[in-house]
Structure 1
Amino acid sequence: MPRPLRPPSPTRRTAPPPQTLPPNTSPPRRAGHDELAAFFRADQQQFPAPGGVVFVGSSTVRMWKNLGQDFRQVPGIVNRGFGGSTLADCSLFARDLVVRYRPRQVLVYAGDNDLAEGRTPLQVLESFARFANAVRAELPNTRISFISIKPSPSREHLMSQIRETNNVISAYLNRLPDSEYIDVFTPMLGADGRARPELFRSDRLHMTDEGYRLWQSIIASYL
């Protein structure tokens, strides 16, 4: 279990203790083991310099092939997305995916796979809190940014849970020092309140180049 966050100074926002939230009912999946092994092999060839910006999360991050080019004005971009991952996985592998690189900022996108597996919004929040605790226990000055869960058409049946999860994580971050919630959910909706189809591939889950361009335009100001 990660060590708890160190108490912030009185002038800073404080985070609710994650142990007050209901526990996950199932253990994290061991997603992306092959990809994790590939990260270690790449690090042996050239280890990223400390003080960079790590993107971590599910295949939405992994498939962002132009991530470094899209944010070329930002030094030290590191992509550590691994397919099928959940926030529970991210918390489990936080040391390997984030802490070892000692970044100045980490941006995490995950949570929709958790919901698809049957976890509740509060259980997803607990996984995110565990992730934040794991990072802050060793990197107290690293900024933590959560990219909101996107409104994938293939998961329209989960839309109420997606909205609730985004809301509870946003509220959590309002009380966590040096953190932020990045809303990509709202700009991905059309005038009818449903996901804009041009932003998604034929699988109705992963994003098109246009979707990534939208994300780049939103996220750039947070780096």
Structure 2
Amino acid sequence: MGRGKHGRHYGQHCQNRFGQTVTCIGCLPGGSLRIGKYLTAYGCRTGETEQIVKTVRVWQSAAFKTNNYCIMKNFDLRRIFQAFLLSAVLAAPFFTVQAQSSTQHNPNGLSYFTYWDQRRTLFAGLGLGTTDIVMLGDDFMDRGMWAESYGNPYIKNRGIDADNLAGLAYRLDDIIKYRPAKVFIHIGKRDIKAGMSPELAASYLSDIVGRIRSGSKHTRVYVLGIIPDKTTPDSTLAKYRKYDSIVSETVPGITFVDILPAMTGSDGRLRPEFAYGNSVLLNGKGYKAAVEALHTYLSKSILDDKGVRDDYPLTGFVKTRNSIIEYLPATSDDILMIGNSITNGGEWAELLRNKNAKNRGISSDVTDGVLVRLPRMLRVPPRKVFIMIGVNDLGNPPGKTEEYVVENIFRIVAEIKRMAPKTQIYVQSLLPVNPTFPSFRSHTVLGEPIRRINKSLSAAAHERGYSFIDLHGAMSDRDGNLDAKYTNDGLHLCWEGYRLWRDILMSYMK
């Protein structure tokens, strides 16, 4: 990768994306990657450098961006360690490490990074149009099912759970270059929770808005006030409101959107009924309130609350996301994509270029969960159903047997036939996994059981009355593992994986 676009080296100065001068801290041995370059790419300002361990993650993320897919060629843990040591030694004379950080990760840093880059590469690959309305920001945007909620296929989700101002700034060019009609932004919550001052957070946001206005003059920019959690401390609430005030009064070229009256109680916190337990993620009721509060700026909600239930035997994220799916309308033209996090991660209407393709995947879901969810999803028999489920049955404690997974998939097929006899059913193979990655070890060692399950599903297709789609073979490398060009954690997919999946499924869309 050479000297990088700034052509600067250790001890010299260059400008970051926000126009401030910062000091480069040199190259890795062999000149392979410049940590200083990627600090500046993430928007560090002089005297506000990130903590060293987080810097390594930033470097990794920037390195991944250079390849147009999620893995870094010649990836070498030794080089990461060299980068860490070099950063620790060289950064000290030039920077003061402060508590404030615009690259604050959630407690599971690796999970944050891999998921962030899966979404980033997907969005970069999908592109946008000049008539699109972009929902941009953190988990509030990511977990919303905006296009379906309004019945508008031009609304595009570009949110990433746990994203922050630096991450958004880093991926902003992938939005600006398409000059969309509108951009709605919810960002800054993670930064302020991590200790960043409201003033500095508002300044970073102002820089982001300035880049949008400069690169796409006709794009209308809307900034939402930060939506608090149910348990947000008073001190943090005060910072959120100060941030909102500064943004609404000082950031030029925006429409500030305050939906807090619809979302919060008298104490200024999220209404208790809008999230389960201590979760920071909105449930179906919460998103229904948000969708209705935003209708003035978007369009009328078409959410369907008739028959919505809240007593399913589901827990955790499965319960939360299912409660959102419960409100989504159903039609006889629907193409339902049912599965776990691998399905959940795709923007299927965009991938398949079909507004009727509906994402019904839920991260961490299992075959039993799909069986619980089927009646509501099939209340109006859809045209097609694509199923990929089972790897979590094997990998999540206590772990089910291969036979259990296969029999439950057969039960899912039978239930669909009973409730929607005219619906075309496609059972997709479980994807290969790759045990050479350090993440999700309980899942990535399951290569052999997965192959045996796929063999059983393929063999029973004709007898059971479904079409079997072999994704496993298409995504495997010569060793039978998930090809590294399709993943960054050995289990989930990045853009290249979703693109191949899309290409395989297109012939089944007719």
| TM-score of the aligned structures, taking structure 1 as reference length | 0.79
> For 1:154-194, what per-residue CA distance to the aligned partner results, in whole angstroms no more than 9, with x for missing partners?
32341110111111111124xx23x2111122322223444
1:161 maps to a residue whose letter is K
| TM-score of the aligned structures, taking structure 2 as reference length | 0.36
SS in structure 2 of the partner of residue 186 of structure 1: helix
Runs (5+) with no aligned partner, structure 1: 4-21
Cα distance change of structure 1 residues 124 and 147 upon mapping to structure 2, 3 Å threshold: same
Q: d(CA) in 2 for partners of 1:150 and 1:117?
A: 16
Q: How many percent of aligned residue pairs carry the same amino acid?
A: 20
8 Å CA contact retained: 2:135, 2:156: yes
Q: Choose the corresponding residue for 1:53, options 101, 109, 133.
A: 133
What are the equivalent positions in structure 2 for 1:98-113 lying under 5 Å apart? 98-113=175-190
Which residue of structure 2 lines up, in the alignment, with residue 184 of structure 1?
A: 259
Which residue of structure 1 lines up, in the alignment, with residue 341 of structure 2?
A: none
Q: d(CA) in 2 for partners of 1:82 and 1:220?
A: 22
8 Å CA contact retained: 2:128, 2:180: no
Cα distance change of structure 1 residues 145 and 58 upon mapping to structure 2, 3 Å threshold: same
Q: d(CA) in 2 for partners of 1:123 and 1:201?
A: 32
| Residue 140 (str. 1) matches residue 213 (str. 2) | no
Cα deviation for residue 206 of structure 1 reads 1.1
SS in structure 2 of the partner of residue 154 of structure 1: coil
Q: Choose the corresponding residue for 2:146, options 44, 64, 67.
A: 67
Q: Choose the corresponding residue for 2:163, options 72, 82, 85.
A: 85
Structure of higher CA gyration radius = 2
| Residue 127 (str. 1) matches residue 204 (str. 2) | yes
1:95 maps to a residue whose letter is D
1:132 maps to a residue whose letter is V
8 Å CA contact retained: 1:88, 1:128: no
8 Å CA contact retained: 2:237, 2:268: no
Which residue of structure 2 lines up, in the alignment, with residue 25 of structure 1?
A: 48
Runs (5+) with no aligned partner, structure 2: 1-16, 20-44, 51-101, 106-112, 299-510
Q: d(CA) in 2 for partners of 1:184 and 1:24?
A: 35
Mean CA deviation greater in 134-143 or 195-204 = 195-204
CA-based RMSD of the aligned residues comes to 2.2
Q: Which of structures 1 and 2 has the larger relative contact order (alpha carbons within 8 angstroms, sep 6+)?
A: 1
8 Å CA contact retained: 1:53, 1:105: yes
Which residue of structure 1 lines up, in the alignment, with residue 123 of structure 2?
A: 39
Runs of 4+ in structure 1 deviating by more than 6 angstroms, as ranges, are: none
Q: d(CA) in 1 for partners of 2:155 and 2:276?
A: 25
